[in-house]
Amino acid sequence: MNPPVQFLTRLAKAFTNLALYREGHPSRESALDDAIEALDVLLETDPEPDFSFLDGDIIYQDRPLSELRNLPLIKHLARRRIQRIEISAGLTRQEFRTFLQEASNQLNRPADSLSAGPIRFPHISFGRLDTGEEGEEQVTPFELKAEVEKVDFIREEASMKGRISTALARAVVQTLSTAMRYSRNIMVPLLSLKDVDQYSTIHSMNTSMLAMAMGEYFRLPKQQVRIIGEAALLHDMGKVTIPLDILNKPEAPTEQEWEVIKQHPVEGARILLRSPENLELAVIAAYEHHIRWNCKGYPLLHYKRRPHRIAQITQICDTFDAMRTQRPFQGSVSTAEILSTLSAGAGTDYQPDLVRAFISMMGEWSSQIKEIDVGSESTPSTMRELL
Ligand SMILES: [Fe+2]
Ligand SMILES: [Fe+2]
């Protein structure tokens, strides 16, 4: 039996035995051990497996596992609208065991008593796709407003303590990435700005989602996609050091104010360096995201060099979101216009191959990029697009 088939077969058996036998019963324990053992074998061949359940089929690595068509577990999951299991590198036996018990508890409750929401552990998640009105599919089953609050908190901490909670940033990126990979096709939910005070948070999240979309487009491994997402999420952290009267100023900044604004990449890198875990690529993206492909921009480099690839990706996604988020009140800029601005800057401001890839991605995935609302209504101001 091949590893994914064996894993799912044993997973199904574990769910059955968890439902039938009490804690500590040998049949329950051996089913759990068997599932864990099958997981170990699967992880040897695929460190980050995920499975989607669609119309009686289990999709693994873009193809249905025909051996498992109509496995009773799938019908059971389908009744709960659970459509995906996703595993990322680092899943331990203990976490998998706890996850199985929690998932089994939820699955064995009557369907109508099940509260909405996926089961999410740090390295394994189990999701359901809730639909709203008949026929109207939600872009993501995840409540991204909660992630907005987490990013607000990260920024607050950066502002008050001069460092961030890396674990919280990773949790946000994990949710965004899972939300994107939830259905058969990648979905890129872009948040729309409603409240000027949330500009930086929304902009960070959108830049992160676009950067991860690029990673997905290049078919990079999940772990790398998340590292890119993390760097993009944190790229503007240094903005917390810019006084609000400069940040919120409706007119163009004075020369002195520009000097303060131009410090945000250095300040951002400093904040990330003070944070407890290794954020090497995020530090580079924060420091270099305003250094252009032709080595112009800021901060000034003593020795001219191209920005790092992580900064090149961040920069393109940063520009796209800044133009798309800021302009509506100035007369909206269409996606086509933004892409042509990027294209015009290819080879001078931006790395040309990456711009081409970004434009192709936006074309191919146009129906998968969805605007969604979070936050409250108010009018955005003008200055922030410059940052
Ligand atoms: Fe930015
Ligand atoms: Fe910036």
Based on the domain organization, do 150 and 124 belong to the same domain? no
What is the 318 CA–ligand 1 centroid distance (Å)? 5
Q: What is the mean pLDDT of residues 319-326?
A: 86
Based on the domain organization, do 243 and 368 belong to the same domain? yes
Residue 384: what pLDDT?
42
pLDDT tens digits, 331-365 = 567 899 999 999 999 999 999 999 999 999 999 99
What is the 229 CA–ligand 1 centroid distance (Å)? 13
Is 138 part of any domain? no
Based on the domain organization, do 120 and 188 belong to the same domain? no
Based on the domain organization, do 120 and 183 belong to the same domain? no
Q: Which ligand gives the minimal distance to the CA of 265?
A: 2
List the CATH number of the domain containing 194: 1.10.3210.10
Based on the domain organization, do 186 and 299 belong to the same domain? yes
What is the 381 CA–ligand 1 centroid distance (Å)? 15
Helix (H, G, I), strand (E, B) or coil at 289: coil
What is the 88 CA–ligand 2 centroid distance (Å)? 30
What is the 264 CA–ligand 1 centroid distance (Å)? 10
What is the 168 CA–ligand 1 centroid distance (Å)? 20
Is 302 part of any domain? yes
Which of 128, 154, 182 is the C-terminal boundary of a domain?
Answer: 128
Based on the domain organization, do 75 and 154 belong to the same domain? no
Based on the domain organization, do 156 and 116 belong to the same domain? no
pLDDT over 70 for what percent of the chain?
A: 84
What is the 317 CA–ligand 1 centroid distance (Å)? 9
Sign of the torsion angle spanned by Cα atoms 176, 232, 355, 370? positive
Based on the domain organization, do 249 and 150 belong to the same domain? yes
Highest mean pLDDT among 80-89, 211-220, 375-384: 211-220
What is the 265 CA–ligand 2 centroid distance (Å)? 7
Q: What is the mean pLDDT of residues 196-204?
A: 86
What is the 251 CA–ligand 1 centroid distance (Å)? 19
Q: Which ligand gives the minimal distance to the CA of 204?
A: 1
Based on the domain organization, do 345 and 282 belong to the same domain? yes
Based on the domain organization, do 256 and 359 belong to the same domain? yes
Residue 39 one-letter amino acid: L
Name which residue leads in pLDDT, 316 or 54: 316
pTM of the model as a whole: 0.69
Is 312 part of any domain? yes
Closest CA to 263 of 294, 295, 234, 287: 287
What is the 236 CA–ligand 2 centroid distance (Å)? 5
Q: How far apart are CA 68 and CA 265, in angstroms?
A: 51
Structural domain total, the chain: 2
Sign of the torsion angle spanned by Cα atoms 260, 261, 265, 268? positive
What is the 28 CA–ligand 2 centroid distance (Å)? 53
Is 73 part of any domain? yes
Is 219 part of any domain? yes
Name which residue leads in pLDDT, 221 or 105: 221
Is 134 part of any domain? no
What is the 241 CA–ligand 1 centroid distance (Å)? 14
* CA within 13 Å, CB half, 151: 29
Based on the domain organization, do 354 and 207 belong to the same domain? yes
Write out the residue range of the structural domain in which residue 292 sits.
Answer: 144-386
Which of 128, 162, 179 is the C-terminal boundary of a domain?
Answer: 128
Which of 98, 128, 158 is the C-terminal boundary of a domain?
Answer: 128
pLDDT tens digits, 38-80 = 999 999 988 888 888 776 778 887 777 888 877 777 777 766 6
Based on the domain organization, do 194 and 325 belong to the same domain? yes
Contacts of 12 (CB under 8 A, 6+ apart): 71, 72, 73
Is 139 part of any domain? no
Is 136 part of any domain? no
pLDDT tens digits, 130-167 = 433 333 344 454 568 878 988 999 999 999 999 998 88
Contacts of 222 (CB under 8 A, 6+ apart): 48, 88, 89, 177, 181
Q: Is the pLDDT at 230 greater than 60, yes or no?
A: yes
